[in-house]
């Protein structure tokens, strides 16, 4: 009898399905995951965070149903306003704020005379032009921190007008100064979270990122006994991201859960804990006691500083500015694609690969994703199997050059075995023949198999050491690619592996945002 009752009770409990919420979010919220898990535990729900770059979030909002997501949490409300043409986002509220700043190794900041005073973007430019400062920054067309920093710099170079006009975006003096500033970038990335990780792995001098991520970086560096980064808030080119969390769901239960989550995140105790993680919460981007206790004033953070960001230009000018960044102003990329045309790629594999390359090389399609090549870019394609095949180099972005590359890819036929190391080594030697300071280089190695012939890992490591430049070898895995081999290559070159099994085109698109 009791047993039956217990069974009934058990079934009742199972019947009460756990409610879940899937949030489409910027990568900078990654470090709040434990907090979201805690909410899930205490509220009997499961909260899942799926991260994506801001430009992608905007695009998805414009074009897709987004039915797999219940809520949206981009880095700044600018992307909601630009993307939410169908008014699907409701109840969006800022959870926290963080300014986009320069973090510069303290000793270098001191040498540059940037400590303890206001610094203008022009002074930063001067340091770059003297060759005293190089920095890492995310791509303005892929990531919010890069976009906001870039728009802030533009405003500063235009002498802080009320708003940036179309004429100013055509002013050669302004554009040249912007180009000169961006030439100081030594590594880029499609995501601010990844940039922070990269910074911690390598030996870089400075980084443009959220104040919150610089604070996180400093905690790790101090723990390792390294000097902290000093935070410079460019006086005339500052931006603040406001991290709005909005609802996408029409489902009543999910909506309730969303409301609970939003209220919980905005409740005083949780806001204090978020502040203790280096985010600004509460009124007016102020530095609360909890926030200040998570930082060291020696890092350049002051409780009294009023953050005065530059106003954002109108939507049309923002989009125009992003286009300009991609095609004209950013430091040119030198990208070597090593494409696997071994026998196993026969059929859908090679068809998808050709489709992906078409997206990158086609002027119209690449523009939609703001990954179009610029006029100074260099694109190299090395097809490989168990042996190297003739490669092709194209400089610039002219229609005819891009069409030629496209035809080249189209003509490739799969056959033979797999050697991923030889093409990577060749890619390094091609990059070595170009100036180290003029380009942001990257190798993109796409493969669907395990390397079992030809060169090996040690040979690649040796070649990388010989070149002695900071060249990331990104990989895109497909089919039965060896994750171990690719992870090892990513580790030795401070790069990343993108999984192309489910969406090869998407993986290519993503990787293109990293240089």
Partner 1 sequence: MKRTLLGLLVLLICIVAGIMFKMKQSILPAETVSGMIGGEKSQFLEDSLIVKILRNRYGLIVDARKEGSIELVQGDPKGKDFLWPSSQVALEIFKERHAGVSFKTDQIFSSPLVLFSWDLVTKALVAQKYAQERNGVWYITDLTGLIQAVVDGKKWSDLGVSELYGRVSLISTDPNRSNSGSLFAGLIAALLAGDQLNDSTLAEVTPAVKQYFDGLGFMESSSSDLFNQYLSTGVGAKPIIAGYENQIIEYSLAHPDQWPVVKEKVRLLYPEPTVWSAHPFIALTPKAEKLMKALKDPEIQKIAWERHGFRTDLVATTAASEVNGRVIGIAPSISKVIPLPAPHILNNLLGSLKNN
DSSP label at 342? S
C-alpha 247/C-alpha 51 separation (Å) is 16
Pairing outcome for strands 98-105 and 239-241: antiparallel
Q: From the CB of 88, what's the least distance to partner 1, in Å?
A: 12
Residues 93-112 binding partner 1 (CB under 8 A) are: 93-94, 97
Stretch that binds partner 1, among 85-93, 185-193, 437-445, 463-471 (CB under 8 A): 85-93
Tell me the two tokens of residue 234.
């460019």
In angstroms, give the least distance from the CB of 57 to partner 1.
Answer: 17
- Torsion sign, CA atoms 147, 152, 158, 160: positive
The least distance separating partner 1 from the CB of residue 100, rounded to whole angstroms, comes to 13
List binders of partner 1 among 275-334 (CB under 8 A). 282-286, 306-318
In degrees to the nearest 10, what's the CA dihedral of 281, 282, 284, 285?
Answer: -10
Q: Of the two residues 97 and 451, which places its CB atom closer to partner 1 in the complex? A: 97
Closer CB to partner 1, 240 or 356, in the complex: 240
Considering only 25, 54, 92, 326, the residue that binds partner 1 (CB under 8 A) is 92
CA pair distance 146, 358, nearest whole angstrom = 26
Listed in sequence order, the residues at least 6 apart from 14 whose beta carbon sits closer than 8 Å to its beta carbon are none
Whether 243 and 49 have beta carbons less than 8 Å apart is answered as no
State in angstroms the smallest separation of the CB of 260 from partner 1. 14
The closest of 52, 62, 44 to 23, measured between CA atoms, is 52
Q: How far apart are CA 478 and CA 483, in angstroms?
A: 10
Of residues 509, 483, 514, the one with CA closest to residue 352: 509
Please report how close the Cβ of residue 269 comes to partner 1 at its closest, in angstroms: 9
Task: Please state, as a whole number, how many other Cβ atoms lie within 10 Å of the Cβ of residue 86.
Answer: 11
Instruction: Scan residues 23-82 and list those touching partner 1 (CB under 8 A).
Output: 77-78, 81
* Least CB distance to partner 1 at residue 418 (A): 50
97 DSSP assignment = B
Residue 371 contacts residue 188 (beta carbons within 8 Å): no
How near is the Cβ of 487 to partner 1 at its closest, in Å?
40
Other C-beta atoms within 10 Å of 183: how many? 19
Q: Measured from the CB of residue 96, what is the shortest distance to partner 1 in angstroms? A: 8
Binding segment (CB under 8 A) for partner 1, from list 44-52, 66-74, 233-241, 331-339: 233-241
CB of 285 to partner 1, least distance (A): 5
Question: Binding residue for partner 1 (CB under 8 A) from 87, 117, 130, 224?
Answer: 87
In the DSSP assignment, the letter for residue 321 is H
CB atoms within 10 A of CB 343: 15
Using the rule CB under 8 A, is 144 a contact of partner 1? Answer: no
**Least distance in angstroms from the C-beta of 323 to partner 1:** 15
- 3-state class of 493 per DSSP? helix
Nearest CB to partner 1, comparing residues 152 and 373: 152
Chain positions 334 to 393 lying near partner 1, rule: CB under 8 A, are: none
String marking each residue 5-24 x if it binds partner 1 according to CB under 8 A: xx-xx--x------------
Q: Between 240 and 269, how does the x/- string for binding to partner 1 read (CB under 8 A)? A: x-x------------------------xx-
Element spanning 136, H or E: strand 135-136
Task: Find residue 24's DSSP bridge partners.
Answer: 50, 72
- Closer to partner 1 at the Cβ: 258 or 478? 258
Tell me the number of residues near partner 1 by CB under 8 A: 44
- For residue 153, the number of C-alpha atoms closer than 13 Å in the C-beta half-sphere is 31
Element (H, E) at 426: helix 421-432
> In the window 148-187, what residues touch partner 1 (CB under 8 A)?
160-164
- Within positions 389 to 408, which residues make up the interface with partner 1, using CB under 8 A? none
Tokens standing for residue 53: 């770059």
Residues that bind partner 1 (CB under 8 A): 2, 5-6, 8-9, 12, 77-78, 81, 87, 90, 92-94, 97, 160-164, 235-236, 240, 242, 267-268, 282-286, 306-318
């Amino acid at each position: 009898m009791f047993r039956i009752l217990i069974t009934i009770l058990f079934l009742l409990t199972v019947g009460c399905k756990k409610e879940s919420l899937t949030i489409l979010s910027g990568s900078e919220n990654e470090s709040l995951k434990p907090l979201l898990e805690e909410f899930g535990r205490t509220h009997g729900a499961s909260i899942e965070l799926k991260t994506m770059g801001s430009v992608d979030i905007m695009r998805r909002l414009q074009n897709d149903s987004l039915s797999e997501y219940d809520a949206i949490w981009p880095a700044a409300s600018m992307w909601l306003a630009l993307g939410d043409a169908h008014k699907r986002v409701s109840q969006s509220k800022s959870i926290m704020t963080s300014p986009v700043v320069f973090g510069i190794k303290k000793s270098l900041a001191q040498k540059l005379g940037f400590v303890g005073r206001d610094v203008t973007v022009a002074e930063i430019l001067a340091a770059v032009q003297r060759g005293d400062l190089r920095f890492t920054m995310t791509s303005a067309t892929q990531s919010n921190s890069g976009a906001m920093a870039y728009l802030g710099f533009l405003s500063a170079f235009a002498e802080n007008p009320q708003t940036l006009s179309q004429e100013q975006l055509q002013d050669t003096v302004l554009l040249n100064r912007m180009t000169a500033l961006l030439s100081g970038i030594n590594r880029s990335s499609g995501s601010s979270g990844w940039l922070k990780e990269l910074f911690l792995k390598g030996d870089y001098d400075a980084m443009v990122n959220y104040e919150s991520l610089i604070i996180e970086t400093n905690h790790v560096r101090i723990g390792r006994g390294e000097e902290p980064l000093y935070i410079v808030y460019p006086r005339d080119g500052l931006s603040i991201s406001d991290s709005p969390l909005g609802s996408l769901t029409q489902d009543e239960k999910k909506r309730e859960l969303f409301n609970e989550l939003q209220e919980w995140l905005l409740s005083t105790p949780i806001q204090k804990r978020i502040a203790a993680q280096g985010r600004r919460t509460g009124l007016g981007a102020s530095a609360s006691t909890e926030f200040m206790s998570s930082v060291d004033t020696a890092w350049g953070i002051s409780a009294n500083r009023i953050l005065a960001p530059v106003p954002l230009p109108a939507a049309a000018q923002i989009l125009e500015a992003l286009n300009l960044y991609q095609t004209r102003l950013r430091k040119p990329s030198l990208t070597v694609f090593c494409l696997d045309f071994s026998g196993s790629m026969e059929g859908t594999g090679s068809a998808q690969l050709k489709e992906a390359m078409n997206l990158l090389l086609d002027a119209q399609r690449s523009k939609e994703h703001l990954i179009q090549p610029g006029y100074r870019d260099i694109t190299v394609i090395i097809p490989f199997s168990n042996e190297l095949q003739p490669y092709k180099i194209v400089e610039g972005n002219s229609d005819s050059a891009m069409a030629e590359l496209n035809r080249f890819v189209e003509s490739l036929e799969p056959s033979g075995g797999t050697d991923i190391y030889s093409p990577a080594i060749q890619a390094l030697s091609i990059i070595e023949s170009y100036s180290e300071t003029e380009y942001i280089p990257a190798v993109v190695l796409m493969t669907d198999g395990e390397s079992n012939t030809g060169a090996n890992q040690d040979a690649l490591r040796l070649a990388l050491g010989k070149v002695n430049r900071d060249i990331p070898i990104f990989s895109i895995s497909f089919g039965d690619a060896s994750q171990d081999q690719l992870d090892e290559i990513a580790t030795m070159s401070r790069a990343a592996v993108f999984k192309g099994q489910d969406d090869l085109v998407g993986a290519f698109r993503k990787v293109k945002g990293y240089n």
